[in-house]
Structure 1
């Protein structure tokens, strides 16, 4: 038994040595031992390459505005580890985490002795989430975000009332497959029998994979791009505005406080989710609550402004599709500004292509590293860049000097981007 939170947290992080082990057999074992907590909650399950976190935030905010108490399970964390399990956006306490870990640790030791083998860090955290939410009183909904993929993701033992797939892109290809169709098949693995699925996937072949899977599962398949029209789009100084026409309603001049043209799509997906919950009799949500929910939604690390002098934003563009969205956002919001980028990435990401894209729009670019087993060394990133105005520092603290240099340029805008693990650590450091 652990007596303190830090000790328990150290044990959880110590499970990183077991790496990533796709599959849900160990999770099924946990669920059996815990008396099937996955059957005791009203869950919404979300997969996708990009946009999962923002979509979670939009749906949670809409439900909160409608008077519902909502749990969320997300990964990775940006501000604090505790936020991975939250209620109405508030992370659970250290004591609650300590209690959960002390319940799961003996089961972990028992599981390690079976032919299924040792559970990973993510599997243990997921088991803690199911246990917590199943015993949490007066909880109306729980939104589960997949960690990696879908079909073999630890969260896929959930029995949801609604499923969403945000986007399909090239990420984690060593695990999920090298083509969009293969990746789509993994994401579509979360589709359950007779449970509606809503998707923002736009690639024809990937969408067809999802359509076929939905048909096999007798699941209603709602495509954002077929069921909706998004128009009158414009960038605001601190968010986005757009109009949305669904098969049920016309919503004029919706606004979000999350920045980026892609947030219009994520918000629209959340609106469709709210409509489906209404139509299914699972919730009662009106237009005013949808509008307020979208406008009030917050999600750290997604084009989040953390400083004014100079303007500094952090954005978790951790794959090629994320970088492309970052470029679009910069064009919408910062045309004519001098863009300075600080970038760091994991070794298993296609960072060469990401850096090439960033080089083309950056006025100056700085590379750094951070504390994580798979973090790439700053010098390797630096040598990949073709920029004529580049620098690197092996320590995270090198960001401070880079920002001080940027202050000298009155037209500067600084963006810290790359790995979500990187921006989490950078955000914590800069806020101190």
Structure 2
């Protein structure tokens, strides 16, 4: 019997992360034993290498502003596990988490005994708890973010109203494949027969795979740049003002509350998916509500401003495409300022390439460090060897403890400078506790 919040987390995090053979059969069995709580709800299903969480946050804010009840499932969490499961912007309570973990744990024990490969994984359990919770709440729509990939992801047991593929880039190659086409094949697994799919700008090989899958599934494909367009109209402004055109919205203008140029495309994808959902249920598309949603949206740890002067940002750019997006933001919005970077990256990421991208910028001062990491199996990378090979304008510094490194850099800043903490969402989670930005 699980009686405390801590015991619930220990049970969840104590489960294996992966099994040898990808399958949805175990997840379907788990849900069947729980009474199929996933049935009878409406979903928007979101995958992509980067941008998933931001797109979910924007859609949630817009749909709430439209007066709908909204459930959401995102990962990873930044401060507390409860962030992953929300209803109308409020996290699942500790009591509900304990109660539903107990319910799921009883079935997990049964499946541990009965299944040859053992019972459900950690993420399958997270997903089951979420379905049980939202089945009780009965929101008008559930925004469902995949964990990894799509085809075999434990969320892929539903028929969505709309599918979304934000981006396709290099990440999780061990599980998804070593080409962009192979990675896209996994992500395209969330496309369902006759259900529309919205995509951001994808590399050509990935786009081809998605287009073919959509054709095979007779799914309407809406593509950024072809079926809907967006432009940044605000010049070198950290929080962009956009002009969007697509579906029933013509000449739609709005300032985004999330910083970084990559949020321009994310906003366009979110706007298109929200319109499709509303139109599918003959609900009005309220321009003022969409503007309000995008103006108010919050998403922790993604170019999140935690101090205004000097500007301090936390950015969980946890893979190569994420770092490339950060580099573009620095080039576009902070080219005339000195930018100080505190960087820590997990050892299972492409950390040499990620650091190389940052070191190529002429206005950055880099300090590398390390942090605890989410588990002993996933440690922080030792970046001290990598920096010996890198060419950079300013010498790259090393901080044995990130707390001391942060203090050192903060002490060097003038009011015009920018400090960005980046490299891993788990690292951001630790650093964020210095700030009361909840």
TM-score (norm 2): 0.93
1:423 positional shift: 0.8
Relative to structure 2, which stretch is displaced further, 58-67 or 396-405? 396-405
1:410 positional shift: 4.5
Q: Distance in 2 between matches of 1:236 and 1:386?
A: 27
User: What SS does the aligned partner of 2:274 have?
Assistant: helix
1:125 positional shift: 0.6
User: What SS does the aligned partner of 1:187 have?
Assistant: helix
1:428 is aligned, of 421, 425, 433, to: 433
Q: Distance in 2 between matches of 1:176 and 1:17?
A: 15
Query: Is the CA contact 2:232–2:240 (under 8 Å) kept in the aligned structure 1?
Result: no
1:278 positional shift: 2.9
The equivalent residue for 2:118 is 117
1:332 positional shift: 2.5
1:202 positional shift: 2.9
Query: Is the CA contact 1:344–1:418 (under 8 Å) kept in the aligned structure 2?
Result: yes
User: What SS does the aligned partner of 1:193 have?
Assistant: coil
The 1:391–1:431 alpha-carbon spacing in structure 2 relative to 1, beyond 3 Å, is farther
User: What SS does the aligned partner of 1:354 have?
Assistant: helix
The equivalent residue for 1:370 is 371
CA RMSD of aligned residues (A): 2.0
The equivalent residue for 1:161 is 161
Q: Distance in 1 between matches of 2:198 and 2:324?
A: 23
Q: Distance in 2 between matches of 1:189 and 1:173?
A: 16
1:354 positional shift: 0.8
Query: Is the CA contact 2:73–2:143 (under 8 Å) kept in the aligned structure 1?
Result: yes
1:31 positional shift: 1.2
TM-score (norm 1): 0.94
User: What SS does the aligned partner of 1:312 have?
Assistant: strand
The 1:396–1:21 alpha-carbon spacing in structure 2 relative to 1, beyond 3 Å, is farther
The 1:311–1:19 alpha-carbon spacing in structure 2 relative to 1, beyond 3 Å, is farther
Is it true that 1:417 corresponds to 2:422 in the alignment?
yes
The equivalent residue for 2:404 is 398
The equivalent residue for 2:135 is 134
User: What SS does the aligned partner of 1:202 have?
Assistant: coil
1:287 positional shift: 1.2
1:428 positional shift: 1.5
Q: Which runs of 5+ in 2 are unaligned?
A: none
1:325 positional shift: 1.1
1:162-182: CA deviation from partner (whole Å, max 9, x where unpaired): 111101111111211111111
Q: Distance in 2 between matches of 1:385 and 1:16?
A: 37
1:415 positional shift: 0.4
Q: Distance in 2 between matches of 1:17 and 1:27?
A: 14
Q: Distance in 1 between matches of 2:408 and 2:3?
A: 42
The 1:396–1:19 alpha-carbon spacing in structure 2 relative to 1, beyond 3 Å, is farther
Query: Is the CA contact 1:232–1:243 (under 8 Å) kept in the aligned structure 2?
Result: yes
The equivalent residue for 2:297 is 297
The 1:78–1:214 alpha-carbon spacing in structure 2 relative to 1, beyond 3 Å, is same
